Amino acid sequence: MLDKSKHASQVRRLLRILDADALKATVSTATKGKVEVTSEIAAIDVILKYTPDLEKLFSYQRITSDVLFKYLSQLQVKNKKIELTRRTKKHEMVSIIKGIWKKNAVESQTPKKNKKVDGAQKTKKIQEQRGIDMYFTNYIGHSLFGADLSSPSTSTSYEDSHN
């Protein structure tokens, strides 16, 4: 059933395009008239629960070329790579949608490298930097600018060293 499918959220987005009457008619088709719904959210949930796979979903009479075109047009705003005309046939749009959904499912399962540095990483970097600073201070005895940092009494200011 599609409610357990990796495509459930995308199917929901597609079904939201349907008006209330079309959703009710699709519920009737999916459940063979056994279930009635009172809201659009309930209708979408029932359709997902009673529809076994994507093939069956796309075969429903209310999932028309116009509905698929509207859905793809919405995706096109987000993803400029979709090329579509009004002459695109239903089966071609179904193939495009399935391809997009398959790609999204694969991407969502692929672990993403987080470019943001989390707190532990940030702390470690700060500690490493401080360790380097302390190395220069404690073992070399001077900063990169030539001031003697080995004891507080021997430090000099910029004005003292250049006057």
With 60 as the cut, is the pLDDT of residue 117 above it? no
Residue 23: per-residue pLDDT: 97
Are 14 and 48 within one domain?
Answer: yes
Are 140 and 82 within one domain?
Answer: no
Q: How much is the average pLDDT of 8-13?
A: 95
Q: How much is the average pLDDT of 141-163?
A: 48
* Domain assignment of residue 129, yes or no: yes
How many domains would you assign to the chain?
Answer: 2
Dihedral over Cα of 101, 103, 109, 111: its sign? negative
**More reliable by pLDDT, 53 or 128:** 53
Write out the residue range of the structural domain in which residue 127 sits: 119-161
Q: How far is residue 41's CA from residue 31's CA, in Å, rounded to a whole number? A: 16
* Domain assignment of residue 126, yes or no: yes
With 50 as the cut, is the pLDDT of residue 137 above it? no
Phi, psi torsion values for 148, nearest 5 degrees: -80, 115
Are 53 and 84 within one domain?
Answer: yes
Are 45 and 64 within one domain?
Answer: yes
Are 58 and 130 within one domain?
Answer: no
With 80 as the cut, is the pLDDT of residue 12 above it? yes
Q: Please state the pTM of the whole predicted model.
A: 0.65
Residue 75: how many other CB atoms lie within 10 Å: 19
* Domain assignment of residue 52, yes or no: yes
C-beta of residue 40 within 8 angstroms of C-beta of residue 27: no
Query: What are 74-103's pLDDT values in tens digits?
Result: 888 776 677 778 788 999 999 999 998 998
The proportion of the chain whose per-residue pLDDT surpasses 90, expressed as a percent, equals 51
Are 102 and 124 within one domain?
Answer: no
Cα 59 to chain centroid distance, Å, stands at 28
Of 56, 77, 58, 82, nearest to 68 by C-alpha is 58
**pLDDT band, very low/low/confident/very high, at 30 (cuts 50, 70, 90):** very high
Strand spans (E) along the chain: none
Are 27 and 93 within one domain?
Answer: yes
The proportion of the chain whose per-residue pLDDT surpasses 70, expressed as a percent, equals 66
* Domain assignment of residue 114, yes or no: no
Q: How far is residue 78's CA from residue 50's CA, in Å, rounded to a whole number? A: 30
Are 79 and 143 within one domain?
Answer: no
**More reliable by pLDDT, 107 or 79:** 107
* Domain assignment of residue 56, yes or no: yes
Are 87 and 129 within one domain?
Answer: no
What integer best gives the mean pLDDT of the chain? 79
